[in-house]
Structure 1
Amino acid sequence: MSATHRRAVLAEFSHQAEAFNRSPTMTSDQTLRALVDLLPAKAGERWLEVACGPGLVARGLAPRVGEVVAGDVTPRMLALGRREARAAGLRNVRYVEADATSLPFAEGAFDGAVTRFSLHHIPDPGRVIAEMARVTKVGGHVASSEHLGSPNAAAHAWHEEIERLRDPSHWACLTPKRLSTLGRAAGLRLVKSRLEPFHLDFDEWLERGSTGPANRQLIEDLMERRADAYCALLPGRVLRFRLGRMLWRK
Protein backbone atom coordinates (compact mmCIF):
# COMPACT_ATOMS: atom_id res chain seq x y z
CA MET A 1 0.00 0.00 0.00
CA SER A 2 1.47 3.37 -1.00
CA ALA A 3 1.95 6.10 1.58
CA THR A 4 -0.68 8.20 -0.19
CA HIS A 5 -3.31 5.48 -0.12
CA ARG A 6 -2.46 4.57 3.47
CA ARG A 7 -3.11 8.20 4.44
CA ALA A 8 -6.46 8.05 2.65
CA VAL A 9 -7.43 4.89 4.55
CA LEU A 10 -6.34 6.37 7.89
CA ALA A 11 -8.25 9.59 7.26
CA GLU A 12 -11.42 7.86 6.11
CA PHE A 13 -11.63 5.32 8.89
CA SER A 14 -10.63 7.75 11.61
CA HIS A 15 -13.61 9.77 10.37
CA GLN A 16 -15.91 6.72 10.19
CA ALA A 17 -14.92 4.99 13.46
CA GLU A 18 -17.86 5.77 15.75
CA ALA A 19 -20.49 5.56 13.00
CA PHE A 20 -18.99 2.30 11.71
CA ASN A 21 -19.13 0.70 15.15
CA ARG A 22 -22.85 1.42 15.60
CA SER A 23 -23.92 1.13 11.94
CA PRO A 24 -26.96 -1.13 11.38
CA THR A 25 -25.21 -2.31 8.22
CA MET A 26 -22.09 -3.42 10.06
CA THR A 27 -23.95 -5.05 12.96
CA SER A 28 -26.79 -6.78 11.10
CA ASP A 29 -27.34 -10.53 11.30
CA GLN A 30 -26.58 -10.83 7.58
CA THR A 31 -23.24 -9.06 7.69
CA LEU A 32 -22.01 -10.06 11.15
CA ARG A 33 -23.74 -13.05 12.72
CA ALA A 34 -23.86 -15.02 9.46
CA LEU A 35 -20.11 -14.56 9.00
CA VAL A 36 -19.29 -15.58 12.57
CA ASP A 37 -21.55 -18.63 12.17
CA LEU A 38 -19.71 -19.55 8.95
CA LEU A 39 -16.40 -19.85 10.77
CA PRO A 40 -15.62 -23.37 12.05
CA ALA A 41 -14.18 -21.92 15.24
CA LYS A 42 -13.73 -24.09 18.33
CA ALA A 43 -13.15 -23.55 22.02
CA GLY A 44 -9.51 -22.89 22.82
CA GLU A 45 -8.54 -21.84 19.30
CA ARG A 46 -6.68 -18.66 18.36
CA TRP A 47 -8.19 -16.56 15.57
CA LEU A 48 -7.21 -13.37 13.77
CA GLU A 49 -9.42 -10.62 12.35
CA VAL A 50 -7.54 -8.72 9.63
CA ALA A 51 -8.34 -5.05 8.86
CA CYS A 52 -10.69 -5.30 11.80
CA GLY A 53 -11.86 -1.71 12.19
CA PRO A 54 -13.44 -1.68 15.68
CA GLY A 55 -13.32 -5.48 15.76
CA LEU A 56 -17.00 -6.30 15.44
CA VAL A 57 -16.22 -9.76 14.06
CA ALA A 58 -13.54 -10.32 16.69
CA ARG A 59 -15.99 -9.47 19.46
CA GLY A 60 -18.64 -11.70 17.93
CA LEU A 61 -16.18 -14.57 17.70
CA ALA A 62 -14.59 -14.15 21.13
CA PRO A 63 -17.12 -16.19 23.18
CA ARG A 64 -16.51 -19.21 20.93
CA VAL A 65 -12.70 -19.40 21.03
CA GLY A 66 -9.70 -19.06 23.31
CA GLU A 67 -8.32 -15.80 21.90
CA VAL A 68 -8.98 -13.38 19.07
CA VAL A 69 -6.34 -10.95 17.83
CA ALA A 70 -7.79 -7.97 15.97
CA GLY A 71 -5.43 -6.04 13.69
CA ASP A 72 -5.87 -2.74 11.85
CA VAL A 73 -3.81 0.27 10.73
CA THR A 74 -6.17 2.91 12.15
CA PRO A 75 -5.35 3.82 15.78
CA ARG A 76 -8.76 5.37 16.37
CA MET A 77 -10.51 2.16 15.32
CA LEU A 78 -8.27 0.11 17.61
CA ALA A 79 -8.89 2.41 20.58
CA LEU A 80 -12.63 2.19 19.98
CA GLY A 81 -12.46 -1.60 19.76
CA ARG A 82 -10.54 -1.87 23.02
CA ARG A 83 -13.11 0.33 24.73
CA GLU A 84 -16.01 -1.76 23.44
CA ALA A 85 -14.33 -5.06 24.34
CA ARG A 86 -13.74 -3.86 27.90
CA ALA A 87 -17.33 -2.68 28.20
CA ALA A 88 -18.52 -6.11 27.05
CA GLY A 89 -16.25 -7.90 29.52
CA LEU A 90 -14.32 -9.64 26.74
CA ARG A 91 -10.89 -10.45 28.15
CA ASN A 92 -9.75 -12.63 25.25
CA VAL A 93 -9.72 -10.00 22.48
CA ARG A 94 -6.39 -8.29 21.83
CA TYR A 95 -6.11 -5.28 19.50
CA VAL A 96 -2.83 -4.64 17.66
CA GLU A 97 -1.65 -2.31 14.93
CA ALA A 98 -1.17 -4.50 11.86
CA ASP A 99 -0.93 -3.86 8.11
CA ALA A 100 -3.05 -6.44 6.29
CA THR A 101 -0.43 -6.74 3.53
CA SER A 102 2.43 -7.47 5.96
CA LEU A 103 1.05 -9.11 9.09
CA PRO A 104 3.40 -9.02 12.13
CA PHE A 105 2.80 -12.65 13.05
CA ALA A 106 4.68 -15.90 12.60
CA GLU A 107 3.75 -18.53 10.06
CA GLY A 108 0.98 -20.77 11.39
CA ALA A 109 0.31 -18.59 14.44
CA PHE A 110 -3.49 -18.90 14.20
CA ASP A 111 -6.15 -21.56 13.79
CA GLY A 112 -8.05 -19.25 11.46
CA ALA A 113 -8.16 -15.76 9.97
CA VAL A 114 -11.07 -13.65 8.77
CA THR A 115 -11.56 -10.27 7.12
CA ARG A 116 -14.71 -8.34 6.29
CA PHE A 117 -15.40 -5.42 3.92
CA SER A 118 -11.66 -4.71 3.66
CA LEU A 119 -10.30 -6.03 0.37
CA HIS A 120 -11.91 -3.32 -1.76
CA HIS A 121 -9.78 -0.73 0.08
CA ILE A 122 -6.47 -2.46 -0.67
CA PRO A 123 -4.57 -2.19 -3.98
CA ASP A 124 -3.16 -5.74 -3.67
CA PRO A 125 -5.93 -7.88 -2.14
CA GLY A 126 -4.12 -11.03 -3.19
CA ARG A 127 -1.31 -10.17 -0.83
CA VAL A 128 -3.81 -9.87 2.03
CA ILE A 129 -5.25 -13.33 1.34
CA ALA A 130 -1.72 -14.73 1.02
CA GLU A 131 -0.72 -13.18 4.36
CA MET A 132 -3.83 -14.59 6.02
CA ALA A 133 -2.94 -18.00 4.63
CA ARG A 134 0.66 -17.68 5.82
CA VAL A 135 -0.26 -17.00 9.45
CA THR A 136 -2.89 -19.77 9.51
CA LYS A 137 -1.97 -23.31 10.53
CA VAL A 138 -2.15 -26.15 8.04
CA GLY A 139 -5.71 -27.46 8.30
CA GLY A 140 -6.97 -24.08 9.52
CA HIS A 141 -9.42 -21.77 7.80
CA VAL A 142 -9.38 -18.38 6.07
CA ALA A 143 -12.58 -16.42 5.40
CA SER A 144 -13.59 -13.24 3.61
CA SER A 145 -16.88 -11.37 3.40
CA GLU A 146 -17.06 -8.59 0.78
CA HIS A 147 -19.53 -6.59 -1.22
CA LEU A 148 -18.55 -7.57 -4.74
CA GLY A 149 -18.44 -6.02 -8.19
CA SER A 150 -20.20 -7.09 -11.36
CA PRO A 151 -18.41 -9.29 -13.92
CA ASN A 152 -19.89 -6.93 -16.56
CA ALA A 153 -17.20 -4.34 -17.37
CA ALA A 154 -19.54 -1.39 -17.95
CA ALA A 155 -21.58 -2.08 -14.82
CA HIS A 156 -18.40 -2.56 -12.82
CA ALA A 157 -16.96 0.79 -13.97
CA TRP A 158 -20.21 2.58 -13.07
CA HIS A 159 -20.22 0.97 -9.61
CA GLU A 160 -16.56 1.92 -9.06
CA GLU A 161 -17.29 5.57 -9.85
CA ILE A 162 -20.02 5.60 -7.20
CA GLU A 163 -17.78 3.96 -4.59
CA ARG A 164 -14.92 6.44 -5.13
CA LEU A 165 -17.21 9.44 -4.91
CA ARG A 166 -18.53 8.16 -1.59
CA ASP A 167 -15.20 7.02 -0.07
CA PRO A 168 -11.75 8.21 -1.26
CA SER A 169 -10.10 5.17 0.37
CA HIS A 170 -11.98 2.78 -1.93
CA TRP A 171 -9.71 0.99 -4.42
CA ALA A 172 -11.68 -1.63 -6.37
CA CYS A 173 -14.46 -4.15 -5.81
CA LEU A 174 -13.57 -7.75 -6.57
CA THR A 175 -15.74 -9.94 -8.76
CA PRO A 176 -16.76 -13.33 -7.32
CA LYS A 177 -14.37 -15.07 -9.73
CA ARG A 178 -11.49 -12.82 -8.75
CA LEU A 179 -12.01 -13.39 -5.02
CA SER A 180 -12.13 -17.15 -5.56
CA THR A 181 -8.98 -16.99 -7.69
CA LEU A 182 -7.08 -15.09 -4.99
CA GLY A 183 -7.80 -17.83 -2.49
CA ARG A 184 -6.60 -20.50 -4.88
CA ALA A 185 -3.44 -18.51 -5.66
CA ALA A 186 -2.69 -18.41 -1.92
CA GLY A 187 -2.78 -22.21 -1.80
CA LEU A 188 -6.21 -22.42 -0.19
CA ARG A 189 -9.04 -24.83 -0.98
CA LEU A 190 -12.53 -23.34 -1.22
CA VAL A 191 -14.86 -25.02 1.28
CA LYS A 192 -17.95 -22.78 1.18
CA SER A 193 -19.10 -19.92 -1.01
CA ARG A 194 -22.25 -17.83 -0.68
CA LEU A 195 -23.40 -14.99 -2.94
CA GLU A 196 -26.57 -13.15 -1.98
CA PRO A 197 -28.32 -9.75 -2.16
CA PHE A 198 -27.35 -7.35 0.59
CA HIS A 199 -29.67 -4.44 1.46
CA LEU A 200 -28.76 -1.33 3.42
CA ASP A 201 -30.01 2.17 4.10
CA PHE A 202 -28.75 4.38 1.27
CA ASP A 203 -28.64 7.57 3.35
CA GLU A 204 -26.84 5.92 6.28
CA TRP A 205 -24.27 4.54 3.82
CA LEU A 206 -23.68 8.02 2.39
CA GLU A 207 -23.49 9.70 5.79
CA ARG A 208 -20.98 7.18 7.11
CA GLY A 209 -18.57 7.99 4.28
CA SER A 210 -16.84 11.24 3.37
CA THR A 211 -19.64 12.28 1.04
CA GLY A 212 -20.03 16.03 0.70
CA PRO A 213 -23.16 17.59 -0.86
CA ALA A 214 -21.65 17.78 -4.36
CA ASN A 215 -20.54 14.14 -4.41
CA ARG A 216 -23.81 13.03 -2.88
CA GLN A 217 -25.70 14.61 -5.77
CA LEU A 218 -23.35 13.00 -8.30
CA ILE A 219 -23.94 9.61 -6.67
CA GLU A 220 -27.71 10.07 -6.75
CA ASP A 221 -27.53 11.03 -10.44
CA LEU A 222 -25.40 7.98 -11.24
CA MET A 223 -27.73 5.65 -9.34
CA GLU A 224 -30.65 6.84 -11.48
CA ARG A 225 -28.89 5.84 -14.70
CA ARG A 226 -28.75 2.09 -14.23
CA ALA A 227 -29.06 -0.83 -11.82
CA ASP A 228 -27.92 -4.42 -11.72
CA ALA A 229 -27.67 -7.32 -9.27
CA TYR A 230 -24.44 -5.90 -7.81
CA CYS A 231 -25.51 -2.31 -7.24
CA ALA A 232 -28.99 -0.73 -7.34
CA LEU A 233 -31.03 1.93 -5.56
CA LEU A 234 -34.44 0.44 -4.76
CA PRO A 235 -37.71 2.12 -3.69
CA GLY A 236 -37.57 3.48 -0.16
CA ARG A 237 -33.94 4.54 -0.68
CA VAL A 238 -32.69 1.04 -0.07
CA LEU A 239 -29.30 0.25 -1.57
CA ARG A 240 -28.74 -3.27 -2.87
CA PHE A 241 -25.26 -4.71 -3.19
CA ARG A 242 -24.07 -8.28 -3.74
CA LEU A 243 -22.50 -9.86 -0.68
CA GLY A 244 -19.99 -12.66 -1.10
CA ARG A 245 -18.73 -14.88 1.72
CA MET A 246 -15.98 -17.40 1.06
CA LEU A 247 -14.39 -19.91 3.42
CA TRP A 248 -11.17 -21.67 2.49
CA ARG A 249 -9.08 -24.36 4.15
CA LYS A 250 -5.31 -24.39 4.20
Structure 2
Amino acid sequence: MIAITVGAVVIGGIKSIANVTDKLVPFMAGFYVLGALAVLVANASAIPAAFSAIISGAFTPEGVTGGIIGVIIQGFRRAAFSNEAGIGSAAIAHSAVKTDRPVTEGYVALLEPFIDTVVICTMTALTLVVTGVYSDKALEGVTMTTAAFTTVTPLFSWVVTVAVVLFAVSTILTWCYYGTKAVGFLTNENRVAILIFQLFFLAATVVGASVNMGAIIDFSDSMIFIMSIPNIIGLYLLAPVVKRELDQYRTDLRSGAIRSYKA
Protein backbone atom coordinates (compact mmCIF):
# COMPACT_ATOMS: atom_id res chain seq x y z
CA MET A 1 0.00 0.00 0.00
CA ILE A 2 2.82 2.39 0.83
CA ALA A 3 4.62 1.55 -2.44
CA ILE A 4 1.44 2.26 -4.43
CA THR A 5 0.89 5.54 -2.57
CA VAL A 6 4.48 6.65 -3.09
CA GLY A 7 4.39 5.56 -6.75
CA ALA A 8 1.25 7.60 -7.44
CA VAL A 9 2.93 10.70 -6.04
CA VAL A 10 6.42 10.21 -7.47
CA ILE A 11 5.27 9.59 -11.05
CA GLY A 12 3.72 13.07 -10.92
CA GLY A 13 7.16 14.68 -10.51
CA ILE A 14 8.51 17.35 -8.17
CA LYS A 15 5.33 19.44 -8.14
CA SER A 16 3.29 16.44 -7.09
CA ILE A 17 5.83 15.56 -4.38
CA ALA A 18 5.90 19.16 -3.15
CA ASN A 19 2.10 19.35 -3.03
CA VAL A 20 1.97 16.26 -0.83
CA THR A 21 4.94 16.90 1.45
CA ASP A 22 4.20 20.58 2.14
CA LYS A 23 0.92 19.46 3.71
CA LEU A 24 2.07 16.13 5.13
CA VAL A 25 5.22 17.24 6.96
CA PRO A 26 3.73 20.12 9.02
CA PHE A 27 0.71 17.99 9.91
CA MET A 28 2.71 14.97 11.03
CA ALA A 29 5.17 17.09 13.02
CA GLY A 30 2.40 19.06 14.74
CA PHE A 31 0.38 15.89 15.36
CA TYR A 32 3.31 14.16 17.03
CA VAL A 33 4.42 17.20 19.03
CA LEU A 34 0.90 17.67 20.44
CA GLY A 35 0.86 14.05 21.57
CA ALA A 36 4.29 14.40 23.20
CA LEU A 37 3.19 17.62 24.90
CA ALA A 38 0.17 15.85 26.35
CA VAL A 39 2.46 13.22 27.87
CA LEU A 40 4.82 15.86 29.25
CA VAL A 41 1.97 17.92 30.72
CA ALA A 42 0.57 14.80 32.40
CA ASN A 43 4.02 14.19 33.92
CA ALA A 44 5.09 17.83 34.35
CA SER A 45 6.42 17.30 37.86
CA ALA A 46 8.92 14.74 36.57
CA ILE A 47 10.42 16.97 33.83
CA PRO A 48 13.18 18.61 35.99
CA ALA A 49 14.28 15.22 37.24
CA ALA A 50 14.25 13.92 33.65
CA PHE A 51 16.64 16.65 32.48
CA SER A 52 18.83 15.94 35.49
CA ALA A 53 18.86 12.21 34.72
CA ILE A 54 19.77 12.82 31.07
CA ILE A 55 22.62 15.22 31.89
CA SER A 56 24.01 13.23 34.83
CA GLY A 57 23.80 10.01 32.83
CA ALA A 58 25.82 11.57 30.02
CA PHE A 59 28.61 12.96 32.20
CA THR A 60 29.00 10.43 35.01
CA PRO A 61 32.39 8.62 35.13
CA GLU A 62 30.60 5.35 34.31
CA GLY A 63 28.95 6.88 31.26
CA VAL A 64 32.14 8.50 29.99
CA THR A 65 34.50 5.58 30.54
CA GLY A 66 32.04 2.80 29.80
CA GLY A 67 30.61 3.65 26.44
CA ILE A 68 31.36 7.16 25.23
CA ILE A 69 32.84 5.99 21.92
CA GLY A 70 29.92 3.68 21.21
CA VAL A 71 27.40 6.34 22.18
CA ILE A 72 29.08 8.97 19.99
CA ILE A 73 29.15 6.62 16.99
CA GLN A 74 25.51 5.62 17.50
CA GLY A 75 24.59 9.28 18.00
CA PHE A 76 26.25 10.27 14.73
CA ARG A 77 24.52 7.43 12.89
CA ARG A 78 21.04 8.26 14.15
CA ALA A 79 21.51 12.03 13.84
CA ALA A 80 22.65 11.77 10.22
CA PHE A 81 19.76 9.44 9.44
CA SER A 82 17.35 11.77 11.23
CA ASN A 83 18.13 15.14 9.65
CA GLU A 84 20.66 14.35 6.87
CA ALA A 85 22.87 17.28 7.92
CA GLY A 86 26.26 17.03 6.25
CA ILE A 87 25.57 14.24 3.76
CA GLY A 88 24.51 16.43 0.83
CA SER A 89 21.08 14.98 0.08
CA ALA A 90 18.95 17.87 1.37
CA ALA A 91 20.60 20.21 -1.14
CA ILE A 92 18.87 18.27 -3.92
CA ALA A 93 15.47 19.31 -2.59
CA HIS A 94 16.48 22.87 -1.74
CA SER A 95 17.97 23.41 -5.19
CA ALA A 96 14.47 23.08 -6.71
CA VAL A 97 13.37 26.32 -5.02
CA LYS A 98 13.01 29.40 -7.22
CA THR A 99 15.08 32.21 -5.72
CA ASP A 100 17.72 34.69 -6.83
CA ARG A 101 19.32 34.48 -3.38
CA PRO A 102 20.42 30.88 -2.64
CA VAL A 103 21.67 32.03 0.78
CA THR A 104 18.07 32.45 1.94
CA GLU A 105 17.41 28.79 1.20
CA GLY A 106 20.46 27.98 3.30
CA TYR A 107 18.80 29.70 6.25
CA VAL A 108 15.67 27.62 5.64
CA ALA A 109 17.79 24.47 5.58
CA LEU A 110 19.28 25.36 8.97
CA LEU A 111 15.82 25.02 10.53
CA GLU A 112 15.55 21.34 9.57
CA PRO A 113 18.08 19.80 12.00
CA PHE A 114 16.85 22.14 14.75
CA ILE A 115 13.18 21.19 14.43
CA ASP A 116 13.81 17.54 13.70
CA THR A 117 16.61 16.71 16.11
CA VAL A 118 16.55 19.38 18.81
CA VAL A 119 12.78 19.81 19.18
CA ILE A 120 11.14 16.52 18.19
CA CYS A 121 13.89 14.15 19.32
CA THR A 122 14.32 15.97 22.65
CA MET A 123 10.58 15.81 23.28
CA THR A 124 10.64 12.10 22.52
CA ALA A 125 13.55 11.55 24.91
CA LEU A 126 11.73 13.45 27.65
CA THR A 127 8.55 11.40 27.21
CA LEU A 128 10.58 8.20 27.56
CA VAL A 129 12.29 9.42 30.73
CA VAL A 130 9.36 11.08 32.54
CA THR A 131 7.19 7.99 32.04
CA GLY A 132 9.99 5.64 33.10
CA VAL A 133 9.64 3.30 30.09
CA TYR A 134 13.29 3.83 29.13
CA SER A 135 14.33 1.49 31.93
CA ASP A 136 12.29 -1.41 30.51
CA LYS A 137 14.85 -3.57 28.68
CA ALA A 138 12.10 -5.42 26.81
CA LEU A 139 11.13 -2.26 24.93
CA GLU A 140 13.03 -0.57 22.13
CA GLY A 141 12.42 1.85 19.29
CA VAL A 142 8.85 2.69 18.44
CA THR A 143 7.46 0.17 20.95
CA MET A 144 9.10 2.15 23.76
CA THR A 145 7.67 5.41 22.44
CA THR A 146 4.22 3.82 22.16
CA ALA A 147 4.46 2.60 25.76
CA ALA A 148 5.31 6.15 26.88
CA PHE A 149 2.36 7.68 25.02
CA THR A 150 -0.13 5.11 26.29
CA THR A 151 0.63 6.04 29.91
CA VAL A 152 -1.74 8.98 29.31
CA THR A 153 -4.45 7.01 27.50
CA PRO A 154 -4.44 3.81 25.41
CA LEU A 155 -5.84 5.83 22.51
CA PHE A 156 -2.47 7.60 22.24
CA SER A 157 -0.98 4.48 20.71
CA TRP A 158 -2.72 5.65 17.52
CA VAL A 159 -0.85 8.94 17.70
CA VAL A 160 2.45 7.09 17.44
CA THR A 161 1.13 4.74 14.76
CA VAL A 162 -0.14 7.57 12.55
CA ALA A 163 3.03 9.61 13.11
CA VAL A 164 5.28 6.68 12.19
CA VAL A 165 3.33 6.01 8.98
CA LEU A 166 3.44 9.69 7.98
CA PHE A 167 7.14 10.02 8.77
CA ALA A 168 7.82 6.86 6.76
CA VAL A 169 5.83 7.97 3.71
CA SER A 170 7.41 11.44 3.65
CA THR A 171 10.90 9.94 4.03
CA ILE A 172 10.32 7.42 1.23
CA LEU A 173 8.97 10.15 -1.04
CA THR A 174 11.99 12.33 -0.37
CA TRP A 175 14.60 9.65 -0.97
CA CYS A 176 12.85 8.51 -4.12
CA TYR A 177 13.06 12.07 -5.41
CA TYR A 178 16.75 12.26 -4.50
CA GLY A 179 17.44 9.03 -6.37
CA THR A 180 15.40 10.18 -9.35
CA LYS A 181 17.42 13.40 -9.63
CA ALA A 182 20.69 11.48 -9.28
CA VAL A 183 19.74 9.01 -12.02
CA GLY A 184 18.58 11.90 -14.21
CA PHE A 185 21.92 13.65 -13.73
CA LEU A 186 23.90 10.51 -14.58
CA THR A 187 21.82 9.62 -17.66
CA ASN A 188 21.22 13.12 -19.04
CA GLU A 189 17.56 13.01 -17.94
CA ASN A 190 16.80 9.77 -19.78
CA ARG A 191 13.13 9.13 -19.02
CA VAL A 192 13.41 5.35 -19.47
CA ALA A 193 16.29 5.13 -16.98
CA ILE A 194 14.41 7.32 -14.51
CA LEU A 195 11.27 5.17 -14.80
CA ILE A 196 13.30 1.97 -14.31
CA PHE A 197 14.87 3.44 -11.17
CA GLN A 198 11.48 4.50 -9.79
CA LEU A 199 10.00 1.05 -10.36
CA PHE A 200 13.07 -0.54 -8.76
CA PHE A 201 12.76 1.83 -5.80
CA LEU A 202 9.08 0.97 -5.29
CA ALA A 203 9.88 -2.75 -5.50
CA ALA A 204 12.60 -2.24 -2.89
CA THR A 205 10.00 -0.59 -0.66
CA VAL A 206 7.96 -3.79 -0.72
CA VAL A 207 11.01 -6.00 -0.13
CA GLY A 208 12.22 -3.72 2.67
CA ALA A 209 9.00 -4.28 4.58
CA SER A 210 9.62 -8.02 4.78
CA VAL A 211 13.33 -8.35 5.59
CA ASN A 212 15.25 -7.97 8.84
CA MET A 213 15.21 -4.34 9.99
CA GLY A 214 18.71 -4.51 11.45
CA ALA A 215 20.18 -5.37 8.05
CA ILE A 216 18.35 -2.44 6.42
CA ILE A 217 19.54 0.05 9.04
CA ASP A 218 23.14 -1.17 8.83
CA PHE A 219 23.07 -0.91 5.02
CA SER A 220 21.51 2.58 5.19
CA ASP A 221 24.12 3.74 7.70
CA SER A 222 26.90 2.48 5.43
CA MET A 223 25.52 4.27 2.38
CA ILE A 224 24.99 7.51 4.31
CA PHE A 225 28.56 7.36 5.61
CA ILE A 226 29.91 6.87 2.08
CA MET A 227 27.79 9.82 0.86
CA SER A 228 29.11 12.10 3.57
CA ILE A 229 32.79 11.72 2.60
CA PRO A 230 32.73 13.48 -0.80
CA ASN A 231 30.13 15.95 0.46
CA ILE A 232 32.20 17.07 3.44
CA ILE A 233 35.24 17.45 1.17
CA GLY A 234 33.09 19.58 -1.14
CA LEU A 235 31.93 21.69 1.82
CA TYR A 236 35.51 22.62 2.67
CA LEU A 237 36.34 23.41 -0.96
CA LEU A 238 33.21 25.57 -1.37
CA ALA A 239 33.48 27.32 2.01
CA PRO A 240 35.00 30.49 0.49
CA VAL A 241 32.12 30.70 -2.00
CA VAL A 242 29.55 30.30 0.79
CA LYS A 243 31.28 32.96 2.88
CA ARG A 244 31.35 35.40 -0.06
CA GLU A 245 27.66 34.87 -0.83
CA LEU A 246 26.70 35.17 2.84
CA ASP A 247 28.71 38.36 3.35
CA GLN A 248 27.16 39.91 0.24
CA TYR A 249 23.64 38.97 1.35
CA ARG A 250 24.15 40.44 4.82
CA THR A 251 25.60 43.62 3.33
CA ASP A 252 22.61 44.00 0.99
CA LEU A 253 20.22 43.28 3.84
CA ARG A 254 21.73 45.96 6.08
CA SER A 255 21.85 48.53 3.28
CA GLY A 256 18.19 48.02 2.41
CA ALA A 257 18.95 46.66 -1.06
CA ILE A 258 16.73 43.66 -0.30
CA ARG A 259 13.31 45.15 0.33
CA SER A 260 11.10 42.35 -0.89
CA TYR A 261 12.11 40.10 2.00
CA LYS A 262 11.05 42.72 4.56
CA ALA A 263 7.62 42.93 2.94
Please report the TM-score for the alignment, with normalisation by the length of structure 1.
0.24
- Kindly name which structure, 1 or 2, has the bigger radius of gyration based on alpha carbons: 2
* Structure possessing the higher relative contact order (Cα contacts under 8 Å, 6 or more residues apart): 2
More strand by share: 1
More helix by share: 2
Please report the TM-score for the alignment, with normalisation by the length of structure 2.
0.23
